[in-house]
Amino acid sequence: MSPMFYGPDQAAIHHARFGDLAREAARLVLVELARAGIRSGTIADFGCGSGIFARIAGDAGFDVVGTDVSEAMVALARATAPGATFRVGSVHDAEVPPAVAVTALGEVLNYATDPRAGLDALGRFARRAHDALAPGGVLVCDTAGPGRAGAGTQRFHADDGWALGMTASERDGVLERRITIFTRAGDAGYRRVEETHVLRLYDPAEVVAVLRGTGFGVEVRDGYATPAPFPGWHVFVARRS
């Protein structure tokens, strides 16, 4: 079993096929900042992925500093949003610069790739974000909670040159996704890569309590633009007064 986490094959597939969440989140963040009268400044994007969010925010006039634990994702991000700044690192210890918005999209705060993940780590991150945000600034994140995988799910996706299968299971507050990817490798046929992603699940009420305890006003949503088509997933818009 490969220890990779969003290695080159999965990062490329995610960028090409699964960028809608980043696009929808970017629109929400820009609307929230406009409502606060904020039209410029720095956005700190944790779990920045392939730079889709950063490109949209940068085109809207914001400076973006992105952080991701995946080197392959950061390489894609630098190509996707060359005007932004990117670095490899964990959400749990990377610096939060002075910002008008802080984001942690795509269940970043759940992933146990960094073993420090958990509600305590989420609270520490929220405090760092609160301290870094300008008045009127916003922290936007989403988390997976109990029921995210139900009794177990299987999904399959394919396109020209690749196929991806995923099996998810949930037990005792932990979600495990086992992912197998086949990517065309020229005359050699197909290359097989396996990744296992482990997420710690949080009850949304616990997340709200952590964010409010840090000093944020919190709104819970069931999606960035439209309700999520699966259970156990929530969006949090946390505003600094």
Asked if 52 and 13 sit in the same domain, the reply is: yes
* Same structural domain, 130 and 41: yes
Residues 60 and 178 in one domain: no
Whether 3 is covered by a domain: the verdict is no
CATH of the domain at 130: 3.40.50.150
215-221 mean pLDDT: 97
> Does the pLDDT at position 46 exceed 60?
yes
- The pLDDT value given to residue 102: 98
Do residues 50 and 94 both lie within one domain? yes
Residue 1: band (very low, low, confident or very high) from pLDDT cuts 50, 70, 90 = very low
Q: Are residues 191 and 89 in the same domain?
A: no
Residue with tokens 């945000």: 133
Per-residue pLDDT of 76-111, as tens digits, reads: 999 999 999 999 999 999 999 999 999 999 999 999
pTM, to two decimals? 0.95
Domain shared by 190 and 120, yes or no: no
Query: Which pLDDT value is given to residue 152?
Result: 62
Predicted pLDDT of residue 3? 64
Same domain, 93 and 107: yes
pLDDT reading at 131 higher than 70: yes
86 and 184 together in one domain:
no
Q: What percent of the chain has pLDDT over 90?
A: 91
Q: What is the mean pLDDT of residues 148-156?
A: 81
* Whether residue 206 sits in one domain with residue 194: no
Mean pLDDT (the chain, rounded)? 95
Q: Are residues 58 and 175 in the same domain?
A: no
Average pLDDT of span 125-150: 96
- The CATH number of whichever domain residue 169 belongs to comes to 2.20.25.110
Q: Is residue 219 part of a domain?
A: yes
Write out the residue range of the structural domain in which residue 36 sits.
8-146+202-239
Got the DSSP string for 69-133?
Answer: S-HHHHHHHHHH-TTSEEEE--TTTS---SEEEEEE-SSTTTBTTSTT-SHHHHHHHHHHHHHHE
Q: Within 10 Å of residue 79's Cβ, how many Cβ atoms?
A: 10
Helix and strand counts by DSSP (H, E) for the chain:
6, 11
Same domain, 215 and 99: yes
Question: Does 188 share its domain with 128?
Answer: no
Note the pLDDT tens digit of each residue in 176-213.
999 999 999 888 799 999 999 999 999 999 999 999 99
Count of structural domains, the chain = 2
Q: Is residue 125 in a domain?
A: yes
pLDDT at 229: 81
Q: How long is the chain?
A: 241
**Whether the predicted pLDDT of 2 surpasses 50:** no
pLDDT at 120 over 50: yes
219 φ/ψ angles, rounded to the nearest 5 degrees: -120, 135
Provide the residue type at 98 as one letter: P
- The pairing of strands 153-159 and 162-171 is antiparallel
